[in-house]
Chains A and B, each alone.
Chain A
Amino acid sequence: QVLLVESGGGVVQPGRSLRLSCAASGFAFNNFGMHWVRQAPGRGLEWLAVISFDGSSNHHRDSVKGRFTISRDNSNDTLYLQMNSLRADDTAIYYCVKESSGWTKYLENWGQGTLVTVSS
C-alpha cells in the first residue's frame, strides 16, 4: 500500500533553514505528481507546493515563493521541501501528499506529517 513518511521537522530559529524529506513506497513514485500541504496548530489545511512526476515543473503558493522550494529524487523515491528564511507563522505540521493519476489532480494519499516549530 502507499506509504509516505516525512522527516526533518524540529525546532528552528527564525531566519534559519530546514529541509523536509518524504520517503515514498508502495507505488511507482516516478509516475505521480507530489505535493506539500501544511497545517498550523489548531488551523485548517494550506496547500504549499506541487511538483510534476518527472520534476520538470513545479508551483508554489505565493506566500512561500522565493523561500520554499519543492524538489524530488526519483532514483530514491524521495520528495523534498527546502525551507529558507523561516518565520514564526511557518510553524505547522507539514504533510507530504501523493496526487491522483489522470488529468484531475486531487490529493489521494497523505503522510502522517512532520512538525516544524519556528521559535527563538
Chain B
Amino acid sequence: EIVMTQSPATLSVSPGERATLSCRASQSVSSNLAWYQQKPGQAPRLLIYRASTRATGIPARFSGSGSGTEFTLTISSLQSEDFAIYYCQQYNNWPPWTFGQGTKVEIK
C-alpha cells in the first residue's frame, strides 16, 4: 500500500497571501495524484487531477505540480472561501486508493 504524507498538518495564512501545501508518496505514483478540498460539513470536492490539471470550475489561483513522489498544491492568493482542509490522493497503484492525512488551511 502506498502511504501518502502531507505537510504541514496546519497552515496559518492571511487572506491574499500564498499557500503552499506538500504531499509525499512512499513510492512513485507517476503523475496519478489528485487534490481535494473539504469545507466543514461538506463533502470533498475534486480540485486537481493528474498532478496539475484543474477540475471543471476550479479557479486559476489553484495550481498543482510535481511527479513521482513529491507534489505541491499552491493557492496563489487565498480567498475567504479557500480556508478548508486539503487532501492529496494517489490513484497509480490500486487497490487501495490512498489519501494523505490532510492539511488544514486556517486564517492567520
Main DSSP-derived SS at the A contact region: strand
Residues facing A in B20-55 (CB within 8 A) are 32, 34, 36, 38, 42-46, 49-50, 55
Query: Looking at chain B, what size class is its interface with the partner chain?
Result: 20 to 34
| Beta-carbon contact of B99 and A46 below 8 Å | yes
From A44, A60, A61, A95, B43 is in contact (CB under 8 Å) with A95
| Nearest chain B CB to A96 CB, angstrom units | 10
| Beta-carbon contact of A110 and B96 below 8 Å | no
Q: How far is the CA of A110 from the CA of B50 in the complex (A)?
A: 18
| Nearest chain B CB to A85 CB, angstrom units | 20
Residues facing B in A63-107 (CB within 8 A) are 95, 100, 104-107
Q: What are 8 contact pairs spanning A and B, CB under 8 A?
A: A44-B101, A45-B36, A50-B95, A50-B97, A59-B94, A107-B89, A108-B46, A110-B44
Contact surface of A with B, Cβ cutoff 8 Å: 35, 44-47, 50, 59-61, 95, 100, 104-113
